[in-house]
């Protein structure tokens, strides 16, 4: 019965939709991907270590951006609490004065956002009708970047020319991700962007040579624009509201920052003339001269941080962190003769035949995963639970062990699945730990090692959990025993009661 379980490594299934592939759906909507970080930051060994890569810009470019925004009325030396500056790990925002948590840091009006409205109002606007928001904005970015007289030049000049998401890695660098889910996600996104570029070239660029120089609108140029949008946009400015916000997107991420509430708000401002603005608030208290930072997303794992921003978090002291994760997809095989009944039960409980579970280091398998596993492996003498009589209660029954055979089946399947997944990596956890102790390790290699080491640690923990479960099968209480107890036929010690002996 262990063969009744199918599991797979998904490509960010949490971002999927029914009409597109997982990677395509994620790319199309460009979900919350706040900002960027461009450095290799080392902190004290007792603190989480933030690993990123720097693409630095000059002070002249920062001053040009500030002057441009000041001329537009968006910032001022007196009123704005932050300044763009070179920090020890790249470019970021520095506090101009003491700022308390929740204080307003800056306010950028909608007219200075690069969004779909910006594109539609431009010379290429009529050619962008019907395009996905990210595609239209990417097209605009590539075209404006090539124009020396662009009105957006002060902002475009401060954008990094090189990005360090795995989307931009060489084949040799990607080889370090062998066996990881991040590799599949990276290749999926690349394929998606390429398909969008090919379609855009045929429908928009090639038929309009007067507006679009085909030599400029290449796959690499669009991949760069895609990377800019992934790393510098975030909720609430995602999806149809996707927008780049100058200055605001210079804020960097801080590892371990315990902040749930977003630092960004879309609101209205003004007394006589109301206008929509992007308001940024302080995630914590900052003093004059300190770098102002934010939390890019507490729920993001290291693979997502790497893909979106080219960074990972790693605690060099303990060798672990809560960003280590493995996203597991479990499926009810269509070859299962009980597939329809199992699918019906899964759908009654808000699931489908294929379900993903985010496994996080140190947390063990979630109860919902164990319940789905038991459903998937249900068969033989346990199949009676699939009958219509149990439709409204079967999920509750499956939340606890059903039978020894059923529990043994899911343990065997998970142990073998973990072993198989671990075999796909090119290194062991111990080898990765030795690499991470090398301070001279190439930053991109370090990102790859942190991601793959984290995935393997999670898989090892899950394997160990199910191996321990196998050893306690004889001590577990199963459905039959629970049912007899509910009927008063078993006492707390598992012995038959006097009432049961009467019936016997």
Residues known to be catalytic:
296
Stretch (H or E) spanning 153: helix 153-156
Can the peptide bond before residue 236 be classed as cis, meaning omega within 30 degrees of 0? yes
Q: Which helix (H) or strand (E) element contains residue 370?
A: helix 367-377
Q: How far apart are CA 204 and CA 311, in angstroms?
A: 35
Q: How far apart are CA 11 and CA 14, in angstroms?
A: 9
380 close to 1: Cβ distance less than 8 angstroms:
yes
Q: Is the dihedral of CA 228, 233, 237, 239 positive or negative?
A: positive
The b-or-e profile of 264-278 (16+ CB within 10 A means b, else e) is: bebeeeeeeeeeebb
Q: Distance between CA atoms of 311 and 314, rounded to whole angstroms?
A: 10
User: 331 by DSSP, 3-state: which?
Assistant: strand
Question: If we measure between CA atoms, which residue out of 453, 462, 445, 464 comes closest to residue 428?
Answer: 453
Which two structure tokens, joined as six digits, stand for 341?
A: 């009944």
CB atoms within 10 A of CB 212: 21
The CA-based angle 328-334-335, given to 5 degrees, is 115
Residue burial 150-166, b: 16+ Cβ < 10 Å; e: rest: eebbbbbbbbbeebbbb
DSSP state of 425: S
CB neighbours of residue 86 within 10 Å: 15
DSSP 81-143: SEEEEEETTEEEEEESS-B-TT-EEEEEEGGGSEEHHHHHTSTTGGG-TT--HHHHHHHHHHH
């Amino acid at each position: 019965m262990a063969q009744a379980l199918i599991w797979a490594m998904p490509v960010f299934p949490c971002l999927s939709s029914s009409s597109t592939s997982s990677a395509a759906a994620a790319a199309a909507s460009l979900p919350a991907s706040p900002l960027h970080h461009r450095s290799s930051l080392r902190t004290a060994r007792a603190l989480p270590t933030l690993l990123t890569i720097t693409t630095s810009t000059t002070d002249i470019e920062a001053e040009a951006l500030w002057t441009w925004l000041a001329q537009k009325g968006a910032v001022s030396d007196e009123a704005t609490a932050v300044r763009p500056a070179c920090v020890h790990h790249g470019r970021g925002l520095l506090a101009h004065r003491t700022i308390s948590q929740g204080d307003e840091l800056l306010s950028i009006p909608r007219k200075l956002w690069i969004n779909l409205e910006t594109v539609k109002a431009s010379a290429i606007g009529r050619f962008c009708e019907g395009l996905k928001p990210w595609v239209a904005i990417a097209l605009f970015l590539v075209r404006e970047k090539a124009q020396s007289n662009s009105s957006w030049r002060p902002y475009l000049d401060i954008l990094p020319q090189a990005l360090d998401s795995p989307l931009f890695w060489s084949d040799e660098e990607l080889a370090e991700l062998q066996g990881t889910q991040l590799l599949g996600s990276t290749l999926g996104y690349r394929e998606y962007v390429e398909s969008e570029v090919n379609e855009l070239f045929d429908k928009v660029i090639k038929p309009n040579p007067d507006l679009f120089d085909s030599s400029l609108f290449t796959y690499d140029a669009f991949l760069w624009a895609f990377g800019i949008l992934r790393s510098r946009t975030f909720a609430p400015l995602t999806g149809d509201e996707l927008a780049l916000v100058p200055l605001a997107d210079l804020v960097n991420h801080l590892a371990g920052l315990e902040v749930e509430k977003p630092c960004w708000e879309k609101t209205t401002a003004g007394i006589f003339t109301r206008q929509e603005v992007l308001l940024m608030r302080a995630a914590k208290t900052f003093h004059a001269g300190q770098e102002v930072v934010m939390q890019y997303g507490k729920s993001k794992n290291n693979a997502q941080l790497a893909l979106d921003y080219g960074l990972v978090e790693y605690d060099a002291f303990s060798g672990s962190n809560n960003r280590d994760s493995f996203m597991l997809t479990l499926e009810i095989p269509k070859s299962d003769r009980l597939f329809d009944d199992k699918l019906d039960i899964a759908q009654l409980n808000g699931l489908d035949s294929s379900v993903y579970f985010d496994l996080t280091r140190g947390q063990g398998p979630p109860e919902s995963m164990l319940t789905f596993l038991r459903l998937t492996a249900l068969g033989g003498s346990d199949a009676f639970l699939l009958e219509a009589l149990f439709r409204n209660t079967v999920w509750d029954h499956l939340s606890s062990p059903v039978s020894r055979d059923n529990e043994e089946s899911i343990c065997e399947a998970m142990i073998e699945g973990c072993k198989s997944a671990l075999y796909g990596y090119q290194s062991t956890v111990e080898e990765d730990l030795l690499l991470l102790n090398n301070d001279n390790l190439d930053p991109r290699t370090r990102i790859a090692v942190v991601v793959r080491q984290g995935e393997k640690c999670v898989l090892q923990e899950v394997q160990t959990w199910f191996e321990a479960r196998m050893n306690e099968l004889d001590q577990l209480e199963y459905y039959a025993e629970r049912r007899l107890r509910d009927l008063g036929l078993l006492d707390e010690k598992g012995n038959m009661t006097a009432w049961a002996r009467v019936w016997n």
